[in-house]
Chain A
Amino acid sequence: MAIEQATPLAPHSLAPAERAIQLIGGELTEKSLRLHLEGLPGVDAVGLEARAAALGTRSIKTTSKAWALDTIIELIDLTTLEGADTPGKVASLVAKAINPDPSDLTTPCVAAVCVYGDMVPYALEALGTAGGESGIHIAAVATAFPSGRASLPVKIADTRDAVRFGADEIDMVIDRGAFLSGRYGLVFDQIVAVKEACRREDGSSAHLKVILETGELTTYDNVRRASWLAILAGADFIKTSTGKVAPAATLPVTLLMLQVVNDWYRLTGERIGVKPAGGIRTSKDAIKYLVTVAETVGQEWLQRHLFRFGASSLLNDVLLQRQKLTSGHYSGPDYVTVD
């Protein structure tokens, strides 16, 4: 990173704008932000992809695999983001989140359920008292997901609604149009405003995940800039994609975002989470991500508050693999739920 180790800041105690000013060292203007972000070193695309491919070749078997499968389940944000979502579907998703495999009660529960904002009350109702025991969070997508094409007041109202309904986490999308046309300040301000809207009445705050939609950012350099920008503006998590755009999460992009998170940690001591979402459908793929996390930022990142998989079909594949490990014979899709 271009930024030298500054005098120890305590950035997490500051409001986002202030810590950005401290880091950038000067007025926080569109120009200074731009100079800062475009001063970030370029990404060695070939090296990044080679590194990601190398990390994907590790062989994880037997007890390590069993551990990996359980860890994957614990890190899943079980997601349903369809226009056709119904309260019933959300309720069955929550039931699956609490108890992914009814035939094996030793299966851990997932990290969170991710739904549209208006589905949060139904998810909470379905979670009922089990929510407290299991620690399952409700995550809501907000800010005109998935395109992000709405005015700021609408985005803020969208966020406030979800928080008021009781969402523990907010997944916002950045304005990719503004980012790609170089208006970093606008993107920054919007993230700061949404972060503010995540505040609850009692002073606590819903966790903010910022979706970069890397499939639309076109270059690795842009992904690095967007990640850095989101973290500067106060993101608790940076998330690859909405799942509505192809390509969604890829291993190189996730590796790059983990590197940014690592840089930020070394600079400020603050741990930012990463959430690859979309396109991770098999246990084999998910295990590659676990390896990448452990090798890039360290194994302490493999916790619910620092790493998540945004996925829906991944869980079923992990359950099938888990059943194979326990029973000794291959299982089939008839032995897991449809959704």
Chain B
Amino acid sequence: MTRLAVPKTYKLYIGGKFPRSESGRVYEITNATGEFLANAAKASRKDARDAVVAARAATGGWAGATGYNRGQVLYRIAELLEGRRAQFVAELRASESLSESAAQLQVDAAIDIWVWYAGWADKYVQVAGNGNPVSGPYFNISTPEATGVVAIIAPQESSLLGLVSVIAPALVSGNTVVVVASERAPLAAISLSEVLATSDVPGGVINVLTGSAAEIAPWLASHADVNALDLAGAGDLDGDLSWVDLQIAAAETLKRVLPPENGIPAPSVERITFFTETKTVWHTKGII
């Protein structure tokens, strides 16, 4: 007797919970040969709005945690990814038609990137900050601080490695993230959300939307409560959406905008410091 398979329902990840899209819409995920894999939620602009609200609420706690603490939390995600390796490998093979070894390499790379960025959490301030020489009896100190809510369009072609390469750097300094996952292959992103939900990352720090990036991105770009925009995957969106329009919309509210990249962004400290604001303080020196 054949057993009836129980297919998984892939939902959004907003504020530490897994809601369906407010719009009730779903869309079909297929593998490279067009075979049906699963239904995923198709997020609407209101889901994006809810995600921004959740992300905003989480900024205080996440940015307020010490760099050391954030590093530990990010490192723990890498540990959990390691434990779920088989699931991610299977999903990458199904949705991206990778060979077993290629999928293994992708998961390895994704885990290594988490670890690499986790290490920066208590170090980037020393690199990007500075004690400025001033002509007066003052200490003058510049330190980078998180900018707030970062909206990210994840690379469309690489569902796990691409996603990790854009969300990890934004998180390091204490930003919270609303990320639109790869439209064609969002399954790994939702499975990553399940990892996040059981890790030590507070709810709302990372919010994952699946669906049409071309539909959601303009709303995130013009949203007045989003502080920065990472358009990593906006270069190869379907439809006639130009990332320049997104940049123009973002300029209305003075957002930082990181332009699209070809392929998967390489790990770099610049991706961390891009989503920070430099605070400079003056302190009097005792004159003896």
| Of B84-92, B221-229, B277-285, the one touching chain A | B221-229
Q: Does B138 belong to the interface (CB within 8 Å)?
A: no
Residue of B whose beta carbon sits closest to that of A335: B224
Kindly state whether residue A88 has any CB partner on chain B within 8 Å. no
List the B residue with the shortest CB-CB distance to A333: B225
Interface flag for A329 (CB, 8 Å): yes
**B206-244 CB contact bits vs A (8 Å, 1 = yes)?**
000000000000010011111000000000000000000
The 0/1 profile, CB within 8 Å of B marked 1, for residues 123-149 of chain A is: 000000000000000000000000000
Smallest CB–CB gap between A48 and chain B, Å? Answer: 28
B78 to chain A, nearest CB (A): 33
A332 neighbours in B (Cβ, 8 Å): 52, 56, 223-226
0/1 string, A299-339, CB within 8 A of B gives 1: 00000000000000000000000000000111111110000
In the complex, how many angstroms separate the beta carbon of A286 from the nearest chain B beta carbon?
A: 17
- A145 nearest CB across to chain B (Å): 31
B93 within 8 A of A: no
Q: In the bound complex, do residue B219 and residue A329 qualify as a contact, i.e. CB atoms below 8 Å apart?
A: yes
A328: chain B residues at CB < 8 Å are 222
B223: chain A residues at CB < 8 Å are 329-330, 332
Nearest-neighbor residue (CB-CB) of B249 within chain A: A329
Residue of B nearest to A328 (CB): B222
Contacts of A334 in B (CB 8 A): 224-225
Residues of B contacting A331 with CB < 8 Å?
Answer: 224-225
CA distance A329 to B253 in the complex (A): 11
Label chain A's interface by main secondary structure.
loop
A144-177, CB < 8 A from B: none
Q: Assess whether A330 is in contact with B219, with CB atoms less than 8 Å apart.
A: yes
Q: Is B123 an interface residue (CB 8 A)?
A: no
Contacts of B226 in A (CB 8 A): 332
Residues of A within 8 A of B219 (CB): 329-330
Give per-residue flags for B234-261: 1 if the beta carbon is below 8 A from chain A beta carbons, else 0: 0000000000000001001000000000
Cα separation A331 to B219 with both chains bound (whole Å): 11
The secondary-structure label for the interface of chain B is helix
Please, what's the 1-or-0 string for B122-154, where 1 marks a CB less than 8 Å from any CB in chain A?
000000000000000000000000000000000
Interface size class of A (residues with CB under 8 A): under 10
Alpha-carbon gap, A330 to B56, bound state (A) = 14
Q: For the complex, what is the distance from the CA of A334 to the CA of B56, rounded to whole Å? A: 11
Q: Give B222's nearest chain A residue, CB to CB.
A: A329
Tell me how far the C-beta of B247 lies from the nearest C-beta in chain A, rounded to whole angstroms. Answer: 15
Q: Give the complex CA separation of A332 and B225 in angstroms.
A: 4
**Chain A proximity mask over B45-60: 1 for CB below 8 Å, otherwise 0:** 0000100100010000
CB-based nearest B residue for A329 = B222
Tell me the B40-81 residues at the A interface (CB within 8 Å).
49, 52, 56
Interface of chain B residues 85 through 121 with chain A (CB within 8 A): none
- Minimal beta-carbon separation of B24 from chain A (angstroms): 13
- A174-200, CB under 8 A of B: which get 1 and which 0? 000000000000000000000000000
Name, among B52, B223, B224, the residue most crowded by chain A CB atoms within 10 Å (CB to CB).
Answer: B224
Q: Which of A329, A334, A335 has the most chain B CB atoms inside 10 A of its CB?
A: A329
Closest to B219 in A: A330
Tell me the complex Cα distance, A335–B253, Å.
Answer: 11
Per the bound structure, the CA–CA distance linking A333 and B226 in Å amounts to: 11
Complex: how many Å from CA A172 to CA B225? Answer: 40
Bound state CA distance, A332 and B219, in angstroms?
13
Complex alpha-carbon distance, A135 and B52, angstroms: 37
Q: Which residues of A contact B252 (CB under 8 A)?
A: 329
Q: Choose from A330, A333, A335 the contact partner of B222 (Cβ within 8 Å).
A: A330
How far does the alpha carbon of A328 sit from the alpha carbon of B219 in the complex, in Å?
A: 9
B146 to nearest A CB, angstroms?
Answer: 16
Which residue, of A330, A333, A335, has the highest number of chain B Cβ atoms within 10 A?
A330
> Cα distance A328–B223 when bound, in Å?
10
Chain B min CB distance to A328 (Å): 8
A281: min CB distance to chain B, Å: 12
User: How distant is A194 from chain B, measured CB to nearest CB, in Å?
Assistant: 41
Q: Which residues of B are found within 8 Å of A330, using beta-carbon distances?
A: 49, 52, 219, 222-225
Q: Residue of A at shortest CB range from B252?
A: A329
**Chain A residues with CB below 8 A from B49, complex form:** 330
Residues of A contacting B225 with CB < 8 Å?
330-334
Determine the distance from Cα of A332 to Cα of B55 in the docked complex, in whole angstroms.
12
Of chain A, the residue at the smallest CB distance from B52 is A330
Which single residue of chain B is at the shortest CB-CB distance from A330?
A: B223
**Cα A275 to Cα B126 with chains together (Å):** 56
Q: What CA separation (Å) do A201 and B222 show in the bound complex?
A: 56
Residues of B within 8 A of A329 (CB): 219, 222-224, 249, 252
Smallest CB gap from B226: residue in A: A332
Complex Cα distance, B9 from A103, in Å, reads: 44
Q: Give the docked Cα–Cα distance between A331 and B223 (Å).
A: 6
Docked-complex contact A333 and B52, CB < 8 angstroms = no
A291–B178 CA distance with the chains assembled, in angstroms: 34
Q: Which residue of B lies closest to A331 (CB)?
A: B224
Using Cβ atoms and an 8 Å threshold, which residues of chain B touch A335? 224
* B222 / chain A contacts, CB cutoff of 8 Å: 328-330
> What would be 6 A-B contacts, judged by CB atoms less than 8 Å apart?
A329-B249, A330-B219, A330-B222, A331-B225, A332-B56, A332-B223
A329-B219, A329-B222, A330-B222 known, 4 other contacts, Cβ within 8 Å: A330-B52, A330-B224, A333-B225, A334-B224
Interface residue ranges, A against B (CB under 8 Å)? 328-335
Which 9 pairs between the two chains have the least Cβ-Cβ distance? A332-B225, A329-B222, A332-B224, A330-B223, A331-B224, A330-B49, A335-B224, A330-B224, A329-B223
